Structure 1
Amino acid sequence: MNVVNAIRFYVKKFTEESGAGMKILLLDNETKSIVSVAFSQSEIANKEVYLFDLLENQNRDHMKHLKCICFLRPTKQNLINLSRELKNPKYGQYYIYFTNTIEKMDVKSLAESDEQEVVREVQEYFADYVALGYHVFSLNIPKCGELNKWNEANLKRTAQGLISVLLSLKKSPVIRYQASFEMCRKLAESVRNIISRDSNLFDFRQTDPAPVLLIIDRREDPVTPLLNQWTYQAMVHEQFGIRNNIVNLKEVPGISKELEEIILSAEYDDFYEKSMFLNYGEICIKIKELMEDFQKKSQSNTKVETIADMKAFVENYPQFKKMSGTVAKHVTLVSELSRLVSEYNLLEVSETEQQLACQEDHSDSLQKIRNLIKNPRVRTYDILRSVCLYALRYEKSNNSGLNSLKNALLERGGLTSDQKDFLNRICSYGGVNYREADLFLNQNAMAFTKRILKGFKGVDNVYTQHTPLVKDLVEQLIKGRLKETSYPFLGNTIRDKPQEIIIFVVGGITSEETLAIHNINKAYAGNIKVIIGGTYLHNFKTFIDEVNSLVNDFKDRTRANVRNL
């Protein structure tokens, strides 16, 4: 199961099916992301696609000598725009590919609009999601509804996206869902209903045992999105944000024009593919090795020992920049990460976070957070993480110091209004009253024993003690121990241990979870295959937006209901 290969297969197919000749590729805003993440522009150009544009752009020139490939989501607006395009065609021939199923009446409407008979082909290619890695996909829906209530348009979009994943991988799974969250049940039912309705699309050879689609809710694990991360890809996403493989570095002090926006893609960057899951220390060593290798080849005697030395070397040697643009990009990234870690005391911050997430030491944790609040070098934004972790862990404690921490944080200043709202809403989003999982291993004797045993085993790195809940759920599923009462089957059941698993997280996934699934795949060496997807790939900033949107909409709706009584 490889979602990047699945998307690439469809893009290769539709660029080749139109035959020889110059072509333009018309996209919408969503398919633009789908294609750009899986294919480079130069690679598509090798298929004689020389122009790219959006269907909604009506200011395109008439070029009858071009063939036009339309790759679009089957939305109402796209169908309106496409009908208008066909009534006054700008190109000689049209090859139309939709990312999901399209209604017969819509096909008929397009045929009626094609008065000049320029359409040569209309097909459904199931590429209705963004493949962020071989085992990771996102639907790019940053806010999916209210607390435990779907926005209907987003429910439909999410179900369509999941169906597309299944069809592109040729999987007809049994479905399990998290019973404690209504949104999981609703999505599971929507997916099952589409599979039943379009059963002919799922008429391919079945595997034994059948794959499992497990639908869970982000609210069951609100801890993971709060933590700073220490692997390369995760650090970049946490500190700068990675949006469809693009990293915006415009705010980095002294950044050169050509590096203000960079692309990180495992498909086209060998160094990134090999390094994306390495920890911070390992990536620094790898870059130093590359620099030393270049120095040997160029017979340079410049002393390069630190990250700062590397950055200076790149800036002073245009030859290196020209020959090794990819490495120069990574030197710049790691240099800025190093600056942030040092300037904002991120090691100290992370150690406090990990203690809150993984250890039971109330008084020491409380004191560490107070020390962070007093430290002017620590960003208020990072202290917010620790206070929210404290709130989730000790919200029911009789001697909770939460109010004093909140007051101290607010007195310190520096929080935006959104961050203040988040501080007050995190327990309404994922507090102990809403979770079934014992995230902190402190609710019963068995969990307590498990935590003690974990402590005896030791941890290689104090900054990476935490493991996300999804890792535990997948391992239970692989061993056939996932509780049916908590994660029931919808429809067909299986008793065999699954070998192929698709995890979908309503409310979004995190980089730590994609790393956990990568490590599971690596550990089972192809015998077990797991992919993970979600409505969005969050970092802390986008998680704040998600929580605020869900809780705020819920409270607004509740107040409205009370007024109507």
Structure 2
Amino acid sequence: MDIRAASREYVAFMLRSVSGPKALLVDEVTTGYLSLVYTQSEMALGDVYLIDPLESSGKREPLVEFACLIYVRPTQRNVALLSKELQNPCFGAYYIYFTGPISRRDIEVLAESDKEMLVRDIRELFSDFYALKPNLFTTKTHLCSIGSRVVDGIISALGALKRYPTEIRYQGNSNLCSKLVNSLGGAIDSNRDIFLSKRSKNTEIHGCSLLLIDRTEDPFTPLLTPWTYEAMIHEFLGFDLNSIVLDKSGDAAARKHPEENQIVFNTIHDDFYREHLNSDWGTVCVAARKMVEGYQSSIDEKSGATKSDTADFDDLRDRISRIPMLQRQAANVKKHVNVTTEIGKQIRYRDLFSLGAFEQEVMRVHAPKEHWRTFCEILKSHKSMKTNDIARLALLFILRYENEDARSLTGEKSGFAKSALYTLSGGSPTSSSKRESPTTSSMVLNVLREHNLGHVLSTERVQRFVDRYGSYARCMNTLPKGSDNILKTVFGAVKSVGGDHEQSWYTQHEPFVLNIVKLLVEDALPAEHFPTYHSELANTEAFFDETESKDVIIFVTGGVTFTEARVLEEISSEWTKKHSGRKTAFEFFSVGDSKSASKKKIRAPRVIIGSTDVITSSTFLEEC
């Protein structure tokens, strides 16, 4: 399953469907869809000589010798704009492609507007989503949105992947997931004729599992500093689809060279990014240095050849032919050097190596007293820390030790613990405060105030965060109190049996979605926590083509991270290696103790993950 390849194939189909010079009309959303899967140069190779917004109808010069491709979402506004265009046509023929199902009434409206009968074709191409990676799509809506835009995106993803959900599971304690599954289930049932018609036309439609998860089940991952290239670019510089703005200060240099300030990342044409987007920071820095050295060697070689007096015409022709390649190489080197330099500056300025190591230690080991002492020491040197770093570290500590009392944190029966109660009570301790032990939240808030950081987190904000993401709000993701790695839980384990490289200390944490997928694949996902939604085509798995893998499509309400997409991509790739007879780095065990658990034959997963948006620690905290 490759959702970006599926979206790209739809665009290729559009371009192949019409020969000769073409114009392409898009809306503000499909412009983003196209930018993720096709470049302008590729469009030009497909004879597309004009790309224009649909809303510019009436402002264009007539181009009757051009065929017009229209690629838009099936909204009422777009239907109205299409009607306006057809009433005053500028092109010789029209081919209309909607990103999702279009109603019969809307087709009738377009037919009535097409007085000159220029519409040659109307099709539904299931591509109403942003295909960010082969295994990641988003709808770019509000993080907690569960409206029609989200439902349309999931339906389109299913259609693009040629999958029908024979099993729909959802997080039972989440109001968002409960509302979404009802809306989505109704939409799937109402559109099932689309899937059945594809099946009747000998198009392979495979069954899959659809899993709806709330961000509340894993609030830890967004709070941690990411340490792989793609995730770090998004965290520190902020992706807008597949591009970033390197300098957001708006100074004169950035305004003078905007093309250098806006950087586009494309795995199709950028070898370095494709090879290292999932590499850890140390590997990226070494690779970037080698890339610079390789470019310098190419320049030196060219310079030495230029000084030669014995060059013949073949040599000259070869040198000239290499100039465009060297220019592209120089641009790529400059791009990645600028990006890694900017990320490196932030890491040093914010002392993220020390902070990141502490974050991983907090997640890996249950040591409240030692971690409290380190947390307080970090706050003493807060002058080099960003407010956002202090906030996420404080909230991470609160989540990790929210059920601890003051004595397990400080080892004291008085002193600091009483001080915390005194501060939070706003005066002298009451008889109630003398009896009760302060919570971890109150302890953290108090130490923030002691270091003049009370403005970072308010009591109300912390309470809202704990209510939404605390242990009582999570149905399964509870951290153990042992000192072992947090992944070695009752839910099973991933066992390394010969990985290609040692795992970095900074990337030890693995998101909880990995455990959920393993449980789903093993048919061990607890029904009391993740009940099944029964659709009209439930238990019809035999009707659809079966695959040798377990195909899973996950949708996370509240945002997803690049880290989660990466670990799920690794699981899918490891299954591909295993299936091809190569040594795999993962084995799946039955639920229970991994040392004594017997292996059982299961279909390993191919996983696609989607969400309302890809979040950073900053966007996650803004929602808190």
Q: Is the 8 A contact 1:380 1:413 kept in 2?
A: no
1:486: how far off? Answer: 1.8
Q: Deviations over 1:461-506 (max 9, x none)?
A: 3322211010111122222222222222222357999621111111
Paired position in structure 2 for 1:25 = 24
Paired position in structure 2 for 1:54 = 53
Q: Matched residue of 1:108: which SS?
A: helix
Paired position in structure 2 for 1:243 = 240
- Return the alpha-carbon distance in structure 1 between the equivalents of residues 349 and 448 of structure 2: 20
Q: Is the 8 A contact 1:209 1:498 kept in 2?
A: no
Amino acid at match of 2:376: R
Aligned counterpart for 2:405 among listed residues 398, 401, 420: 398
- Return the alpha-carbon distance in structure 2 between the equivalents of residues 515 and 352 of structure 1: 22
- Return the alpha-carbon distance in structure 1 between the equivalents of residues 513 and 280 of structure 2: 20
Q: Is the 8 A contact 1:366 1:401 kept in 2?
A: no
Q: Is the 8 A contact 1:370 1:405 kept in 2?
A: no
Paired position in structure 1 for 2:280 = 279
Amino acid at match of 2:351: N
Q: Is the 8 A contact 1:439 1:469 kept in 2?
A: no
- Return the alpha-carbon distance in structure 2 between the equivalents of residues 350 and 431 of structure 1: 22
Amino acid at match of 1:378: M
Task: Flag the 1:60–1:42 CA change in 2: closer, same or farther, 3 A.
Answer: farther
| TM value normalised by structure 1 | 0.84
Task: Flag the 1:212–1:346 CA change in 2: closer, same or farther, 3 A.
Answer: same
Q: Deviations over 1:11-57 (max 9, x none)?
A: 01112213212x22111121111111111111111111122222223
Q: Is the 8 A contact 1:86 1:113 kept in 2?
A: yes
Q: Is the 8 A contact 2:87 2:115 kept in 1?
A: yes
- Return the alpha-carbon distance in structure 1 between the equivalents of residues 327 and 457 of structure 2: 40
Paired position in structure 2 for 1:344 = 350
Paired position in structure 1 for 2:561 = 510
- Pair 1:212-2:205 in alignment: no
Paired position in structure 2 for 1:525 = 576
Task: Flag the 1:130–1:370 CA change in 2: closer, same or farther, 3 A.
Answer: same
Q: Is the 8 A contact 2:144 2:612 kept in 1?
A: yes
Task: Flag the 1:214–1:319 CA change in 2: closer, same or farther, 3 A.
Answer: closer
- Return the alpha-carbon distance in structure 2 between the equivalents of residues 419 and 11 of structure 1: 49
Task: Flag the 1:334–1:121 CA change in 2: closer, same or farther, 3 A.
Answer: same
Task: Flag the 1:422–1:123 CA change in 2: closer, same or farther, 3 A.
Answer: farther
Paired position in structure 2 for 1:150 = none
| 1:518-557 alignment, distance < 5 Å | 518-525=569-576, 527=579, 528-545=605-622, 547-548=623-624
Paired position in structure 2 for 1:222 = 219
| 1:461-500 alignment, distance < 5 Å | 461-491=504-534, 492=538, 499-500=550-551
Q: Is the 8 A contact 2:57 2:81 kept in 1?
A: no
Paired position in structure 2 for 1:557 = none
1:341: how far off? Answer: 1.0
Specify every segment of 5 or more residues in structure 2 that has no aligned partner in the other structure, as ranges. Answer: 304-323, 407-438, 497-501, 580-604
Q: Matched residue of 2:128: which SS?
A: coil
Q: Matched residue of 2:68: which SS?
A: strand
Task: Flag the 1:414–1:26 CA change in 2: closer, same or farther, 3 A.
Answer: farther
Q: Matched residue of 1:537: which SS?
A: coil
Paired position in structure 1 for 2:132 = 132
| TM value normalised by structure 2 | 0.76
- Return the alpha-carbon distance in structure 2 between the equivalents of residues 418 and 83 of structure 1: 52
Paired position in structure 1 for 2:320 = none
Amino acid at match of 2:568: I
| 1:455-466 alignment, distance < 5 Å | 460-466=503-509
Amino acid at match of 2:441: L
- Return the alpha-carbon distance in structure 2 between the equivalents of residues 298 and 209 of structure 1: 52
- Return the alpha-carbon distance in structure 2 between the equivalents of residues 323 and 301 of structure 1: 14
Task: Flag the 1:530–1:415 CA change in 2: closer, same or farther, 3 A.
Answer: farther
Calculate percent identity across the aligned residue pairs: 30
Task: Flag the 1:272–1:447 CA change in 2: closer, same or farther, 3 A.
Answer: closer
Q: Is the 8 A contact 1:352 1:386 kept in 2?
A: no
Amino acid at match of 1:79: V
- Pair 1:384-2:427 in alignment: no
1:219: how far off? Answer: 1.1
Specify every segment of 5 or more residues in structure 1 that has no aligned partner in the other structure, as ranges. Answer: 146-153, 303-317, 549-565
Q: Which has the larger radius of gyration?
A: 2
- Pair 1:180-2:167 in alignment: no
Q: Is the 8 A contact 1:503 1:533 kept in 2?
A: yes
Task: Flag the 1:330–1:37 CA change in 2: closer, same or farther, 3 A.
Answer: same
Paired position in structure 2 for 1:434 = 473
Q: Matched residue of 2:553: which SS?
A: strand
| 1:188-337 alignment, distance < 5 Å | 188-203=181-196, 204=199, 210-251=207-248, 257-299=258-300, 323-337=329-343
Amino acid at match of 2:300: Q
